[in-house]
Structure 1
Amino acid sequence: MKPHDMGVLFDECAERGHDTVIRLDRPFDIAPESGTAHSVAGLAALVQDMASRLAAAGARPGDRVAIVKDNHWDYDLLACAAVRIGALPAQLSGDLPADALGLLLERLRPALLVTSSGLLERCRTEGIDLLSATGVCVLLDGELPGTLALEALQGRPVPAPRRRHDDEPLIINHTSGTTGVPKLVVHSTRTIIGKLARFETVRYPKIGVRRGDTLLNASAFSHGRTFCWTASALCLAPRRITLVTGQDPDAVDPLLREAPPTIVEALPATFVRFRPLTARLDTPFRDVRLYISTYDAVHPPTLRAYLQASRVRAPLWMQGWGQTETGPLTFRFHTRRAVADGAPAGAGARNLGRPVPFKTRLRVVDADTLAPLPRGREGLVLVRTAARGLAYVGEDGRWAAKQHGTWWNTGDLGVRHRDGSVRLLDREVDRGHRFSCLATEDAVEDRLPEVLECVLLAAPGEPPLPVVVTADGTLDPARWAEAVVGLPALRPPTVLTWDEIPRTGTGKVRRGALRRRLTGRADTCGSGRWT
C-alpha cells in the first residue's frame, strides 16, 4: 500500500486489515482514557472522532489549525483529522520559547488553536498571550475563559473526507530553530507524501521494513519527519510500533524489553540519553538490525555503543541529512567496523554520504559568488530536489533569498569528495575561523567518553568557547588538557549538565541563545544570510 490522502490514511490501513499493534509510553493527550495499547482500527476511529470535534469547534476547509502541545504522536493524529475536514494543520512544538510561539502564531493567524492549559499559562507568565493571534482555542485538558474544552465537543457527526489537489498546501511544520525563531515550512501532498513518504514504503533489501518488525520511534512528533514517517510506517504494516515521548532511560527500559525493537529511529539527543541502556545485561537493543537518525549527526562514541549493543550479525546505522524544507538529501551507512576505535578519519559521522539516488542533486559553491567549486574545495552546499516545500509562511522574501534558480541554499558549509560523498563542516552562521567546529566537537567527544556533548561557540577575534556537557556538570581539568592536544586553540571550557543547555524540540542546542547567555554577545564568524 502507498500513502496518498492523509485524511483517510488510518481508515484505508484498517480496511486493508493491517493488524499492527501500537504501544505508547503514556496515553495520548487527546484521549487519556484510552490507555497505551491501540489497534489501527482504533486509531482510525480516533482520527474520525477528532475530525468531528475540530469541525464542531468551527474549523472549515482551508482554515489553518495550529496544534501546540506536549510531545506525543497524537500531533499526527490531530493533523490527519484536520486534513480530513479540508483544513491546513500547523504543528508547533510546545517546547518553543513563548516569544517564538507568539510570533509564529502571529504569522499563521490560525482559525483554530489546539493546545493545553499548561502551555497557555506558561506563555502568559512569560508575557505572551497565545489567544490574541487565534480565532478559537480548544483545550485538551479542561476549559479556561475564552476557550472550548475538547471533551465538550464529543459526540458530533463525523464529516465526510474532503479531498485536495496534490499541489495544494497539506501541512505546515517549523524548522528546528537552532539559530533563532524557526521558519514555518509549507508542504503539499506531492512533496511530503508523494516524493518522500512513498519512497520509504519500498521494501528495500536489508533496510526495508518487514512485516515481522517491531519499530521504535522516539522523536519530536511536531516535526515534518514524523508526519512523513507516520504515512510510510502505517502502510508497511509491521508487527508492532512502539512510540516513546520521554527521554528517561529507566522509564522506557521496561517498555522496550516487553517488545524488543528491530528498527530504531530516534532523535540524536535521545540516542545520547538512552545510551546507558546499551550497557545493561540483556540490552533492549539486542535485536536491532537498523538504527535511523536524522536532524543532526550522532557522534562516534554513541554510534559505537548502539551498534555493539545489537546481537544481530551485521547491524546498520542509517544516517540521513536533510532539512524541513527539502526532506532527506543524503544517506550514509555506518557499520561496527566503520566506527571502531582507530577507524579512518573519513568514517566519521560528519561524512554525510552521497545524494539520494534519482532524488536529489548537490553542488558546492563559493559563498560570495555562488560559482560552482571543484570537488575537494570547501563552500556552501546547494541542493536540487522535487521534494522541496512550497513556501515560508509570512516570510516570502526569506524563501526567495534561498533559491538560486532551481537550486536551494542549505546554509551549510561542506566539501564534496571525489567519490561523490559530502562532508559537513558547519552551519555557515556558526562556522569557526579556518577550521570546522563540528569536527573539533567530534574529536573531543571521541577522546573523552564522559562527555555527553561538546559545543563550540565561535566568535570573531577570539578562540571558540567550548561548552562541555557531562552527567554531573564536572570535568577533570587534566583530562581536558590532554584531550585538546593537537586541536585548534580553544578557550577554557564551560562545563554544564544536560538540562542547563537551551535546546530545540528536537534536542538540538540553541547555539545563539547559549552564546548570548555565556558570552553576552550574539555575533558569529558567519554572515547568517542563509539561516
Structure 2
Amino acid sequence: MTPFTKPIHLGTLFDDLAARGHGTAVHLSRPMDIAPDLGGDLDVPRLAEFVAEVAGWLVAAGVGLGDRVAIAKRNHWDYVVLSCAAARVGAVPASLSAHLDPSVLETLLKRLEPALLVTDTALLAACREGGTDLASLATRTLVVDGTAEGALSTDDVRGAAAPPPRRPPLDAPLAVMHTSGTTGVPKLVVHSTRTIMRRLAGFEAHRWPLLGSRPDDTVAGAVSFAHGRALAWTASVLWLAPARLLAVSSSDWAEAGPFLERHRPTTFEAQPATYVRWQDRTGGPGGPFERVRLFISTFDAMHPPTVRAFLNATRRRHPVWMQGWGQSETGPLTFRFLTRRAMAAERGRHPTTRDIGRPIPTRTSLRVVDPRTLRPVPRGDAGLVFCRSEALCLGYVGEEERWRSKWVGQWWNTGDLGALTRTGSVRLVDREVDAIPEGSCLELEDVVADRLPQVLECVVLGRPGLPSLPVAVTEDGALDLSAWRRAVTDLPPLADPVVMAWDDVPRTGTGKVRRSVLRDRIGAAPDTHGTGRWT
C-alpha cells in the first residue's frame, strides 16, 4: 500500500493507484489512438503497465531527463497516458490541441523547443498543406498512427525498456498546457507537481459532500484532453475509486451518444460548447443523462437555458449543477451550486449564471480593482479581478515579461472584469478585452439565449463608435429577424445580427469562440473597447 493519501506524482499515478488496489473500470468512447489494439475497456493495473511501455517508447525516441515532449494529435484521453509516460522518464509533457491553426502550432513549438513531438498523420498532413512542417520544429517526431517521412513510427520504438520512474521536485516544471487562445496566440502555462497534482488534483481527491466521487459512481468527462484539466480530473477521480470512469473523446453525438447511453453516467463534466451542442439530446424518457446526480461545467460561462435543460433531463430528485470559474494558470477560483429550484426562481432575472459563486475557502483570495488606477473598488462595483491562489502556475514559456506584467505586488491579474458582491460572491462581467460600455456582453448573451431558443449561442462584439454587433449562432445559419428584434427591443442598442451556423464559427479546442478570428471572418473591425493588456 502506498503511503500517499492523495495523488502526488504524475509519472507513477497509475502505479500508485494499482498499489492501492483501486478497481475502477476505465471505458473509452473509442480505443486509444496510440494503441487501438487495447480496445476501449481497461483497468488500472493494465494502464500502469501501458504507461511504462509508452515511457519505453519515449526513451527509444531519444527523450531524456528535463526534455520537453510536445503532444499534438486529435482529441483523446491518451493525452493523459502520454503525459504520464513523459513525466515517468523525467521529461516535461506539453499538450497542444490539434484545433490550433498551423501558424499557431508553429509559434508554440518554437517556444517549446521540444526534444520530441508526438503527433498523428492527419495533423502532420494538414499543417503541411497550410505551409507548416511540424516535424521540422522538434528534434525528433513520433507518429502514433502510421508513418511519415522523416518521422519515427511506434513500430520503431515499441519494445524498448523504460528506466526506473523518476519523481521531480515538487516545485520543478511538471507539465505545460496552453490557454484557450480566444484573443490570439495561446500562452504556454507551466505547472509543477505542487500546483497541479497536490493543490488541484489533491484538493479534489477528497470525498467532499456532493462533489466527491462515490464508490458506485460512473464518472464521465467530455472535455479537451489536451487541456490541463484532463490531468487533474483523471487523477482526482481515479484516486476516489468510483466504479467506472468514462472518457468521451468527441463532441460528435454519433460517437458519444451510444457510449453514454450504454454506460449511463451518474456524474458528468463537459466543456460548455459540448453542453450546448447536446442540449437537444436531453428530452424524452430514458435518455443518457437520466441517472446524473451532478453536472460540472468549467472552461467558460454557461447560459441558463442549457443548465435548465440538463437538470431537467435527470430523474434524480435533487440534481446539482456545479459551475466553476478559473483559468489554466490558476485552476478553479470560485464555484457555485445551481439547482432546478434556483434556476426556475431566477428565470427572467439576469444575471443568473453570471453569479459564479464564492472564492474557494482557505485556498483562493480575490480582490477587484479599478483598471486605470489598480486600486480596490467598493463592494458591488465592477473592475479587474485579481487573485491569490495556492495553485497558481509557475509562468509562461517564452513570455516571462508577459507573465511579470500581470503581477501587482502579491496579486495576479486574471484579465476578467467582475464585481465582489456584498455577500462575498463574484458577479462575472466580461473579459477586459471584450468589455462594452453599455453593460455586459455575457449578460446580453444570456438574455438572448433565454428568449430565443433557436439561437444556440450569441456572441456580442463591441465596436467603438458603433452599436455592438451580435453574432447569432443557429443550427442551420437561419434566423427570423422579426423574432430577434422583438426579443431585444428592451436591451441596449444592438446592430442587426450576423447569423452563422454552428460549424462555421471559429473555436478553440475547448469550444470557446475565437472572437478575434470571428471578427475577421465576418468583416468586423478588430478595434475593441477594452485594452487587451491583460489577456
Matches within 5 A, 1:163-312: 163-312=167-316
- Any idea what the Cα deviations from partners look like across 1:235-289, whole Å, max 9, x if unmatched? 1110011111111234322221222111000010111111122103211111111
CA contact (8 A) 1:465 1:491 kept: yes
Quote the Cα distance in structure 2 between the aligned partners of 1:206 and 1:295: 20
CA contact (8 A) 1:140 1:151 kept: no
Could you tell me which residue of structure 2 aligns to residue 146 of structure 1?
150
Tell me whether 1:320 sits opposite 2:289 in the alignment. Answer: no
Quote the Cα distance in structure 2 between the aligned partners of 1:55 and 1:70: 23
TM-score normalised per structure 1: 0.98
RMSD: 1.1
The Cα shift of 1:517 comes to 1.5
Could you tell me which residue of structure 1 aligns to residue 131 of structure 2?
127
CA contact (8 A) 1:248 1:274 kept: no
Find the residue that maps to 2:356 and give its secondary structure: strand
Q: Which of the residues 9, 14, 19 maps onto 1:10?
A: 14
Tell me whether 1:477 sits opposite 2:481 in the alignment. Answer: yes
Quote the Cα distance in structure 2 between the aligned partners of 1:61 and 1:301: 49
Tell me whether 1:367 sits opposite 2:371 in the alignment. Answer: yes
Gaps of 5+ in 2: none
CA contact (8 A) 1:339 1:347 kept: no
CA contact (8 A) 2:33 2:78 kept: yes
The Cα shift of 1:344 comes to 6.8
The Cα shift of 1:313 comes to 1.0
Could you tell me which residue of structure 2 aligns to residue 408 of structure 1?
412
- Equivalent position amino acid for 1:454 in 2: C
TM-score normalised per structure 2: 0.98
Tell me whether 1:333 sits opposite 2:337 in the alignment. Answer: yes
- Equivalent position amino acid for 1:332 in 2: R
Gaps of 5+ in 1: none
- Any idea what the Cα deviations from partners look like across 1:169-218, whole Å, max 9, x if unmatched? 00000000000000000000001111111100110122211011000100
Quote the Cα distance in structure 2 between the aligned partners of 1:88 and 1:515: 36
Could you tell me which residue of structure 2 aligns to residue 385 of structure 1?
389
The Cα shift of 1:346 comes to 5.8
Could you tell me which residue of structure 2 aligns to residue 110 of structure 1?
114
Find the residue that maps to 1:152 and give its secondary structure: helix
Quote the Cα distance in structure 1 between the aligned partners of 2:350 and 2:526: 33
- Any idea what the Cα deviations from partners look like across 1:487-515, whole Å, max 9, x if unmatched? 11111111111100000000000000001
Matches within 5 A, 1:402-441: 402-441=406-445
CA contact (8 A) 2:438 2:492 kept: no
The Cα shift of 1:466 comes to 0.7
Tell me whether 1:345 sits opposite 2:349 in the alignment. Answer: yes
Quote the Cα distance in structure 1 between the aligned partners of 2:507 and 2:415: 20
CA contact (8 A) 2:351 2:446 kept: no
CA contact (8 A) 1:114 1:137 kept: yes
Find the residue that maps to 1:7 and give its secondary structure: coil
Quote the Cα distance in structure 2 between the aligned partners of 1:403 and 1:502: 31
Quote the Cα distance in structure 1 between the aligned partners of 2:33 and 2:209: 37
- Equivalent position amino acid for 1:264 in 2: F
CA contact (8 A) 1:200 1:232 kept: yes
CA contact (8 A) 2:350 2:443 kept: no
Aligned length: 531
* Range that drifts further, 7-16 or 506-515: 7-16
Tell me whether 1:504 sits opposite 2:475 in the alignment. Answer: no
Q: Percent identity?
A: 55
Quote the Cα distance in structure 2 between the aligned partners of 1:118 and 1:258: 29
Could you tell me which residue of structure 2 aligns to residue 50 of structure 1?
54
Judging changes above 3 Å, is the alpha-carbon distance between structure 1 residues 347 and 496 closer, same or farther for their aligned structure 2 residues?
closer
